[in-house]
Amino acid sequence: MKIFSLTNFRRLTKNTNWCCALFFAILLGFGFAWNQLVGVGRGGGPTATNSLDRTVLKIDGIPVSQLEYERAAQALGQTAAPGPPFVQAQVAAIAQLVQNTALQELAKKYHVQVTSTDVDRYIDQLRVQAGQQKASDSAWENFLEQNMGTTLADLRRQLAKSPQLLAQALINYFKRHQHITLQDAQNQYAQVNLLTVFVPIGNSPLSPAKPGQKPLTDAEAQKLANELLAKAKAGADQKALAKTDPRVRVVQTGFRSEYSQVPGMMGDNSPFGVLGYGKDFDAAVHATPVNGFTPVIKTNGLFSGYIFAKVLARKTVLPKNFNASQAVADLQTQKAQQELQTELLQLINNAKIQVVDPDKQPYVDAYLLQQLQQKQLMAQLGQPTSGPAPTKAELDALQQKENADFEALLKRNPNDPTAALMVAQDIEQNKLYAKGVTPAQQQAYRQQLIQLYQTALNNYEDRDLRFKLADLYAAQKDFTDARKQYELIAKYLAEDPPYNSTTDQQYIGYYQRLANAFSALGLPEEAKKMQQQLAQIQQQLARDTVKEAAANKSASPLQSSVTLPPGGKASVPLSTKSEASKP
């Protein structure tokens, strides 16, 4: 049986009731779902206790068991197909484990722990989600044992160290140490009108230099900005300053939020700040009175340069339902969440991962590579990073290490479909057509790809991969095996027919591809059969399109009113029931 066959997947998703799934998300997206309560092996069956208890990683010296690793992967809520999707799922699981470890470290730092009251409150929420709020305690315990494979005592132990409740406990701790005033709360609705002067560094797309004009260096841009600020303070027309140099950009912003990108909410932790030029510029604006000028500030954002502004006006627009005490409490929570996020990110960026189980090594490589790529992107956007930005050589070296570790994983586990597909991906992207590769080497690489594709397909079914295998056989002049693969694709298509207009269109592409393949192999009868199937699906597509259009039309809510023709001054409500005319 193909574990990942499309037919089995459809049956599963049609018949499975996900109502018991509970996802509790806060701050960085930590989740605690029902499936985290049960530990299963990679193949979906029970795993020996000693196997689940073994340490597979150490994060900042804290051991991570196989059970914890699998629960982190299961928390994603879906099974990933082998190859790159499975790698991404493992990367996400490792990221969650690093986040969980960072939470534990913060809790230890601030002497914070989940209380029994926190656990009781969360269990009450679980009972409501499971429809067991009116059940007796003994019935609830039976429900947990029969449906979740856990006891109430085990559930309480897990919740006591769950990342969600620990994060909430830390937020509560930070809230107790926040001092938020009414003015702070009102500032979240404050608006400011600025006249900004921006001098770019280099050839900025925001203020591109004219042909033949030399872009400004950092020192030149700073010098020019300070000269323009001096002129503005002396009374020069700010808008006319742009005429002195076409690279200078002068913009009147109009009223915009000064402290918060979303009214009533604190500004996020983005280094771009609320006003878009970095937190230093935000702070300079806050400290500048109306009709005053900010100092020259180096921007931190998408566009590198120097900026100053004149504060033209300010106003605060409070909502009609503004509640002072609630606004202060909300801001206190938001600030506590931001403080937690800031500390967590610092710990995450500095986390040290020690691999104990060598089979986890390539996935840790992939996680570290994504961390470096994100760090490089942040540096390119002008955001601060912990340490210098990684070089291309460093990224390439880690990518090569990941590729080598997948090769080693495949040697230890020859039937691992993900390892096979990742090794195949490396060959396709970096070796098959590399400079200096001889025809004989390419022939050997293609033969290796055939073996790798077949290894993967022995464990799961993927239509695109089977097409690649068949095409590769054909390219290798192995027409017999190519035909077998194309016939197998046709067989699977017939066993799992399309069921709506979207899948109809996909199958039209598949059958057209099969018809072309059989024709290229000199099999006109087989090609004719595929053309016949193609014609049938095209007819089905026409029927499904009409059917779905009708279903969408009938499902659309009835318009609640009809507007009178031009000249009318009212809307006439529609009624779906006949009503007697009133006298």
Beta bridge partners of 55: 65
Write down all domains in the chain, each with its CATH number in brackets. Answer: 190-317 (3.10.50.40), 414-547 (1.25.40.10)
Is pLDDT at 244 greater than 90 in this prediction? no
DSSP per residue, 38-83: S---TTSS---HHHHHSEEEEETTEEEEHHHHHHHHHTT-SPPPTT
Maximum separation of any 2 CA atoms in the chain, in Å: 96
Q: What is the mean pLDDT of residues 173-202?
A: 91
Of the listed ranges 211-215, 390-394, 411-415, the least confidently predicted one is 211-215
pLDDT for the residue numbered 377? 82
Checking if the pLDDT of 560 tops 60, the result is no
Q: How confident is the model at residue 519 (pLDDT cuts 50, 70, 90)?
A: very high
Residue 582 has pLDDT above 60, yes or no: no
- 106 contact partners, CB below 8 Å, separation of at least 6: 112, 170, 340, 343, 344, 347
- Own/partner contacts of 65-71, CB < 8 Å, gap of 24 or more, are 66/357, 67/39, 68/97, 69/93, 69/97, 69/360, 70/39, 70/40, 70/41, 70/42, 71/36, 71/39
- Residue 47 reports pLDDT greater than 80: no
pLDDT, tens digit (0-9, with 9 covering 90-100), for 381-393:
666 666 778 889 9
Question: Which range, of 77-81, 157-161, 276-280, 384-388, averages the lowest pLDDT?
Answer: 384-388
pLDDT of the residue at 14: 33
Coil/strand/helix, residue 565 = coil
The pLDDT tens digits of the residues spanning 314-346 come to 999 999 999 999 999 998 998 899 899 989 989
Q: What is the pLDDT of residue 541?
A: 95
How many CB atoms neighbour CB 439 within 10 A? Answer: 7
Q: At what angle do helices 84-110 and 324-349 cross, to 10 degrees?
A: 110
Residue with tokens 């030029």: 277
pLDDT at 22 over 70: no
Exposed, middle or buried by CB within 10 Å (0-12, 13-18, 19+), for 262? exposed
Q: What pLDDT, on a 0 to 100 scale, did the predictor assign at position 146?
A: 87
- CA-based radius of gyration for the chain: 31
316 forms beta bridges with 190
So what's the pLDDT on residue 16? 31
208 contacts: CB under 8 Å, gap ≥ 6: 247
In the numeric block, the tokens 């969408």 are attached to 552
- Which pair of tokens denotes residue 219? 């020192």
pLDDT tens digit sequence for 492-518: 999 999 999 999 999 999 999 999 999
Answer whether residue 183 shows pLDDT above 70: yes
Instruction: With a cut of 90, say whether residue 405 has pLDDT above it.
Output: yes
| C-beta separation of 340 from 317 below 8 A | no
pLDDT tens digit string along 127-166? 898 888 888 888 988 988 888 888 888 888 888 888 889 9
Question: How far is residue 502's CA from residue 511's CA, in Å, rounded to a whole number?
Answer: 15
Give residue 300's pLDDT. 78
- pLDDT digits 0-9 by tens, 550-559: 888 877 655 4
pLDDT at 302 over 80: no
Q: How many CA atoms lie within 13 A of 68 on its CB side?
A: 23
Average pLDDT, the chain: 83
Compare 216 and 209 and report the one with higher pLDDT.
216
Per-residue CA distances from 386 to 187, 377, 402 (Å): 31, 13, 23
> Are 334 and 414 spatial neighbours (Cβ–Cβ below 8 Å)?
no
Sign of the C-alpha dihedral computed for residues 528, 529, 532 and 537 taken in this order = negative
